[in-house]
Structure 1
């Protein structure tokens, strides 16, 4: 298992996230290991999980945190699940360095 929830892929980075909607604030709470051994980035958003609002808030928060355009963040898996997969387009080494800082600073 990868100890980090991100992985370099062609054209960017794939990121596994555990989202908590209606979390009281928009924040990234660090890296967590799930019971099945997968690592995820814990994220909370104020938005409710209806009509894609929480997913949109997640994409906005990740884009802002990584200093990329919103169009570069795509939800590619888990639209109705708490554990989601995002694909972030861009320079993979730069994105991974930014994710390392986000994961370590929490």
Structure 2
């Protein structure tokens, strides 16, 4: 099985592939998980419930706080109502962010 990264750089910014667990006991960004099909995603747990975008907002807030980014530079671009999501980081120091993601 080929191991893939849970992120990729695009013209729009840095896409981070997530597997989000809402309604968790704590907010936490875990490590990279490999799925059976070889795809990778970053494990994210948020306390917010999956209702009216609350969990998505919590994911954005958690990433902004953890990686010292502005919330306005982050957006969920795919998977708004699914556990598998793609978070787009539109601006920031990508080298620092990539190192931080690799260290998780």
Between the aligned partners of 2:81 and 2:97, the Cα distance in structure 1 is 26
Structure-2 residue corresponding to 1:10: 11
Structure with the larger RCO, 1 or 2 (CA within 8 Å, 6+ apart): 1
TM-score when scaled to structure 1?
0.88
The RMSD of aligned alpha carbons is 1.4
TM-score when scaled to structure 2?
0.90
Shift of 1:63: 1.2
4+ aligned runs moved over 2 Å, structure 1: none
Structure-2 residue corresponding to 1:86: 87
Structure-1 residue corresponding to 2:46: 45
SS of match in other structure, 2:15: strand
Unaligned runs of 5+ residues in structure 2 are: none
SS of match in other structure, 1:41: strand
**Cα contact 1:9–1:92 (8 A) shared by 2:** no
Q: Deviations over 1:77-98 (max 9, x none)?
A: 0001100001002232222112
Compared with structure 1, are the counterparts of its residues 80 and 28 closer, same or farther at alpha carbon in structure 2 (3 Å cutoff)? same
How many residues were matched structurally? Answer: 102
